[in-house]
Homo-oligomer: A and B are copies of this chain.
Amino acid sequence: MSKTRKQAPARAQAATAVATCDGDGAAGDGAAPTGVSRRRLLGTAGATGLVLGAGGGAAGYAATRPEEPAALTTVGATEAMFHGKHQPGITTPLQARGHLVAFDLAAGAGRKEAATLLRRWSAVAKELMAGRPAAGAPDGPGHDTGIALDAGPSSLTVTFGFGRTFFARTGLTGRLPAALDPLPVFSADALDAKRSNGDLWVQIGADDALVAFHALRALQKEAAGTARVRWQMNGFNRTPGATARPMTARNLMGQIDGTGNPKPSEEDFGRRVFVPASPGKPQEWMEGGSYAVVRRIRMLLDDWEKLPVERQERVIGRRKADGAPLSGGTETTEMDLDKAGPDGRLVIPDNAHARISSPEENGGAAMLRRPFSYHDGITEDGTPDAGLLFICWQADPFRGFVPVQRKLDRGDALSPFLRHEASGVFAVPGGAAEGEYVGQRLLES
């Protein structure tokens, strides 16, 4: 299904919003996942770009002047699709701003209340992702906050998931997937239970921080009385256009991060990332879904930045500047794990992060990492409270995250520079079909 949007989003004042989106027109299960698959595609910027008012300077303050030509922008106008085989926010390109929020059901709320909430959440998410205000009478307490007024959809995605505890609280333990078994304890874990797990999980991403915050508030308001916030984290990635072309992301260590990700064009992408059909099984409702492992990984940047670049590169196994393996080539060149230097030592060291986490070393285990960086200021001891909101997606965490992390936990040269501070695993069901809400197949079938 190919969809071209030519009308302006109701909320945005963009003269024309153009987004070309593939729906389910996939060649093979996961080769072209649903949701947005060609964003920022067309040269919609036209000839004008952004035009400032006469007089120069301080355009951020200048009142809008009606005679200014409205410029088309891909950043604001890009729209991800709510409906589809998979939920948005899994294969959607990284967004500039993200919120992660976990909720626990309130006392007395069960399956019925959860179903009502998921139905409302889905309705709100669909509206907001299209650039429209949240439903609610404009003069009542349910009115839209207005924070996203003027902006387009800005690639907003909202993704919903269920934690292990959700199933007992809603009497649905018969449908609890084995994939939600608790993660093993890793030696490097320093987990804060209050910021881990949760009955429900929502991931919000957008290329505009106000659009993302607007969605967070709207969804939180819908939860009032049914679920309360357990924890909430904010993150960020590159702003679209900050680099001359789409690049693999860098993390706050300065390292290119995500090179080894499975690609949608690879034959086994769908099998690795999305849950297959399993008729009659407890997790039948998860078809088309995926499991998210979420880890708040603090980076000990003061220590890391003291290492000379050459030592950092041996810790990672890749060159810092361009992400090429130390065995040679460019970023996408396959690592030569056996290559030795003139001194007889392995060029990519035994404990290099890229070696240990590579699928070749893990029986093919692979996951789709789609993180946000985070930075919450300075801690009491003066070190930066910053790092990675690591989020990885896989058909089964016990064939994705777990074996890789187990191996990293035993001998990764990067471990001394990281601290896993929070953790969660969530079952993220498939996308809602038209007329359906996310999780309906779990909650109502």
Contact = CB atoms under 8 A, between A and B. Distances in A.
A59 B76 contact: no
A27 to B, nearest CB: 10
A368 B62 CA distance: 11
A51 interface: yes
B138 A309 contact: yes
Contact of A50 (B61, B241, B255): B241
Given A140-B308, A209-B96, A376-B376, A14 B244 contact: yes
A245 B308 contact: no
Interface in A117-141: 138-141
A366 to B, nearest CB: 12
Name the residue among A50, A229, A331 with the largest chain B CB count within 10 angstroms.
Answer: A50
Contacts of A241: 50, 73-76, 240-241
A165 interface: no
Given A209-B238, A217-B305, A331-B63, A33 B58 contact: yes
Contact of A41 (B52, B233, B378): B52
Name the residue among A43, A241, A330 with the largest chain B CB count within 10 angstroms.
Answer: A241
A382 interface: yes
Interface string A215-244: 001000100000011011110111111111
A425 to B, nearest CB: 21
A264 B56 contact: yes
Contact size class for A? 35 or more
A12 interface: yes
A259 interface: yes
A258 interface: yes
Contacts of A259: 63
Given A147-B252, A377-B233, A64 B263 contact: no
Name the residue among A76, A94, A373 with the largest chain B CB count within 10 angstroms.
Answer: A76
Contacts of A72: 244
B221 A209 contact: no
Nearest to A54: B265
Contacts of A52: 38-41, 93, 246
A59 B68 CA distance: 33
Contacts of A33: 57-58
Contacts of A236: 97, 209-210
A271 B132 CA distance: 43
A404 interface: no
A15 B57 contact: no
A140 B305 CA distance: 10
A129 B237 CA distance: 20
A249 interface: yes
A203 interface: no
Interface stretch (A150-158, A171-179, A349-357, A411-419): A150-158
A321 B146 contact: yes
B70 A245 contact: yes
A143 B308 contact: yes
Contacts of A231: 378
B46 A242 contact: no
A38 B57 contact: yes
A55 interface: yes
Given A240-B75, A308-B140, A246 B50 contact: yes
Interface of A: 12-15, 22, 31-33, 35-66, 68-76, 91-94, 96-97, 138-141, 143-147, 149-152, 154, 207-211, 213, 217, 221, 228-229, 231-234, 236-250, 252-255, 258-259, 261, 263-265, 301, 305-306, 308-310, 320-321, 330-332, 368-370, 373, 375-378, 382, 384, 386
8 tightest A-B contacts by CB?
A: A146-B254, A75-B241, A55-B265, A45-B45, A37-B56, A73-B241, A60-B94, A60-B93
13 contacts: A35-B57, A38-B52, A57-B264, A61-B94, A61-B261, A61-B263, A66-B330, A68-B246, A75-B75, A147-B252, A152-B244, A213-B386, A233-B377
Given A64-B247, A229-B378, 8 more contacts: A45-B49, A58-B92, A61-B258, A74-B241, A138-B309, A146-B309, A147-B253, A233-B377
